[in-house]
Each structure stands twice: as structure tokens, then as C-alpha cells.
Chain A
Amino acid sequence: MAKHSVNLVIKKENELPVVKKLRLLLPIFSAVSLFIFVILFLSSIIYINKNNSEYNSLRLQIDNLEKRISANKNAEGIYILTVSRVKTIDQLSNGNKKFISLLSEILKLQSSGVLISQTNIDKKNSVTVSVTASSAASLDEFATKLLNADAAKLFSDIKTSGIVRDKNAGYLLSVSFKPSTSLLE
């Protein structure tokens, strides 16, 4: 009886180096990616479950607070309008000048022989006064008072112009100066 031999071993074909490398790396890579996926997925589920209830409760809290604030809409409205009006009044009042201290200082320059016939305080706080002095002595007294006010830093930048001697031996003159800011507060 003749014997037949059968070769059951599959002939190993020569593999490309790339395939050899892939055979080594691909399982590692897929295992690692699966592991990372599982870790991240579980973490995200745990994080969402843990924070979702807090998130929802915050939303609920906000809804409730908004409802309560809406219920007090009238109070909010009247408060905001009052505050906005008061703030505007405050801003406008800040621009208000108080002339009275300055005017009383100017009137102090008068004496028996000196009359300040006209005073003008303009928007830039420059003061111009028209003065009538009955004599040279009165005029001198007026000038001394002006110098004293300058020394006391009540007035500065004092300028005199247009001195006219009238037929009654009196003097008419115009004086301009800058008042101290403290006199306008």
C-alpha cells in the first residue's frame, strides 16, 4: 500500500515590514484608544450626573428669583426712576455757582466816597466792576482795598482801565479781576 504524504503546514509568506510593524503597533494603539475612550466616557458621565442636578437647581433658583423680581417690578421702576432723577439733579446742581460771597466781597470795596455802580460776573468767572470815586483820596482808598484783597488771595489778575475824571472832580473807572474759586463755592 503506497503512502501519501499531505503537507498541513501553511507556507508562511514573507510579510512586508510595514505589515510587521502594524501587527505589533495596531493592537497596542487600539487598546490604548479604547482604554482612553472608556476612561473619558465614564468620567464625562460621572461629571454630568454629578453637576446636572446642581445646574438644574441653579436654573430653577434663577427662575424663582426672576419671578419674584418681576413681582416687584413697580418698586424697581419707581426706585430706578427716582435714583436716575436724583443723580441728574446732583449733576446739574454741581454746576451751580454761589455768587453771594463774591458779591459781598465786592460790595466791601465800597466806602463813603466810592460807589460800585455796576458789577458783572460772566460765565468764565471774570469780574468787571464800574467804580465811581468822589475824590482822589477815595480812589486811593479803593486801590488799597483792592491790593489787600489781592494779598489775601481773594482777587487776582486785577486790571484797571478807562479812568475818566468827570467835571465834579470825581473819577470813573472800570476794574476787572479773577475771584478766588472759594468765593464761588
Chain B
Amino acid sequence: MKTKFDYLSYLHQYEILIASSGVLMIVIVLTFNMLLPNLNHANQIYAQGQDLKKKVELLTQKDSSLTSLNYQFYKDVFLKSSQILPENKDYVSLIGTFDLLEKQSGITIVRTDFQLGVVSTSSATLQRAAGTAAFMIPISVEVMGNLEGLRKFLDLVSNYNGRLMTFDEVTVNNKQSDTLDVVLSGRAFFYILPGTLGSIDSPLPKLEKSQDAILQKINLLSLPQDTVTVDLDKNSIGKKNLFQ
């Protein structure tokens, strides 16, 4: 009986301290179990909210760009540009380009020499053009003609008539006549297209003014022969119904 009395008196004496400690303990437990997760969640909403807003803005911009994109135009330009910068060495198109240049410029191509190197896909033999992802094929062309013909030839080369070529060395032999014997040394190129398109929220690349001018120039070229599709509906294909 005496012990119970002592216990109660003890409780009574320290009731404020015990109650306060109890409240404090509950606050600590609730803080860890409820407040901190809530604050964490709120912080996450705040931080991600900003990112999400930016992402929505970016995706909206990309979506509207893609919706207004002239698919057929870019598809045609893509096919046409493959004549200028193909995905492989494509020596057939190089020869074709020289034939075309000869025909259009009026000069005579005496000799062409291009180092195709190893025909297999040995990447060790490939050399990239400085500052670009394109690969180089060293070429040398010997042409004969007058200055006007040579001017036409070089103009045609720089106006994307056939394969893209650049010349950085020239030797002209002049044999007292109007005809010049010119050896041009330079490079033709091929470009392996990137295998991936990037993430869905990556912005669409934009063209600069000079690049847009090239795009319009390429668009004026005619489509490669092998990509011209035949409209099957216009061809007579016999009776549609066998019983008529």
C-alpha cells in the first residue's frame, strides 16, 4: 500500500515533466513517420514540377514542329541529298558524276583516279574529313578544255551536281593553245547516317541560313532514278472481277 502511494506521489510530483516528455516523443515519432515523408514528397513535387514544366514546353514545341513538318518535302530532299553525299563509297555514282560533269561543262575528262581503298568495311582504312563525321575518298581528275569550260566544271561541282567533291590542289599545263590541261586533286565524301535519333525530348535541330539555302538547292535537283515510284493505279492490270 505504501509502495502504491509512493508511486502515485512520484507521478504527481513529476507529471508535467512526464507529460512534456511524452508529447516530445510523440512529436519526434510523428516527425519521422509523417512530416519528413510529406516534406520529401512536397520537395519532389516542387523540383520535378519545374522540370516537368520545362519538358512540357519542349515537347509542345517539338510536337507542333513535327505536326507542321512537310514530310514529303524532307523525304524528297533526303533522297536527293543521297546523290550528293551517299552513305558509302559508291564509286558508280562517282563515275556517273564525272560523266555528267563532262557532258554539262563541255570539257574533256582525260583521267580520273580515286582511291577506293579496301572494298570491305574495314574502318581502319577510312579517314574522316576534319571537323565533320563524313569520310574522305582522295580523288584526282585530269581535264582538258578552255578556261570557260573549266569555270563551268568547277561551278557545277560546287552547285551539287552529282557527288560532293572539293579540290585543294591544281596543276595547269598550258601548251601555247587555248586548251588547258588541268589536274585537280581533292576529295569526294561519303557520310554514314547516325544510327539513333536521340531521346524523345531532345529538340529538333535547326538549320542556319546557309544550310537552308543548300536545302533549297538540293530540292531543285531531280529525284534519283531508282526512287521514282510507279503509280500502279494508272497501269492496266486486267479485270478486277473474274466473273464479269
Chain A positions within 8 Å of B, measured between CB atoms, are: 10, 19, 22-23, 26-27, 29-31, 33-34, 37, 40-41, 44-45, 47-48, 51-52, 54-55, 58-59, 61-62, 65-66, 68-70, 72-93, 95-100, 103-104, 106-107, 110, 115-123
A88 and B170 contact, CB distance less than 8 A: no
Closest to B202 in A: A80
Question: Is B7 on the interface with A (CB-CB < 8 A)?
Answer: no
Question: Is B224 on the interface with A (CB-CB < 8 A)?
Answer: no
When the two chains form the complex, which single residue of B66, B166, B193 contacts A97, counting CB atoms closer than 8 Å? B166
Binds A, one of B37-45, B90-98, B113-121, B230-238: B37-45
Give the chain A neighbours of B55 by CB distance below 8 A.
62
B16 and A23 contact, CB distance less than 8 A: yes
Closest to A106 in B: B172
Give the chain A neighbours of B131 by CB distance below 8 A.
91
Question: Is B222 on the interface with A (CB-CB < 8 A)?
Answer: no
Contact residues of B between 209 and 241, Cβ < 8 Å to A: 210-211, 214-215, 218
A69 to B204, CA, bound (A): 11
* Min C-beta distance of A101 to chain B, whole Å: 9
Interface of A is mostly: helix
Question: Is B88 on the interface with A (CB-CB < 8 A)?
Answer: no
Closest to A104 in B: B147
Closest to A19 in B: B17
A23 and B17 contact, CB distance less than 8 A: yes
Question: Is B109 on the interface with A (CB-CB < 8 A)?
Answer: no
Chain B positions within 8 Å of A, measured between CB atoms, are: 9, 16-17, 19-21, 23-24, 27, 30-31, 34-35, 38-39, 41-42, 45-46, 48-49, 52-53, 55-56, 59-60, 62-63, 66-67, 69, 71, 74-75, 77-78, 81-82, 84-85, 129-134, 147, 150-151, 154-155, 157-158, 160, 164, 166-176, 189, 191, 193-194, 197-198, 200, 204-208, 210-211, 214-215, 218
A44 to B200, CA, bound (A): 33
Show 25 residue pairs from A and B whose CB-CB distance is below 8 angstroms, ordered by the A residue: A23-B16, A26-B17, A27-B20, A30-B21, A31-B23, A55-B45, A55-B48, A59-B52, A65-B62, A68-B63, A69-B66, A78-B71, A79-B69, A83-B204, A85-B85, A86-B211, A86-B214, A89-B164, A89-B214, A90-B211, A91-B132, A93-B164, A93-B214, A100-B154, A106-B172
A57 to B64, CA, bound (A): 20
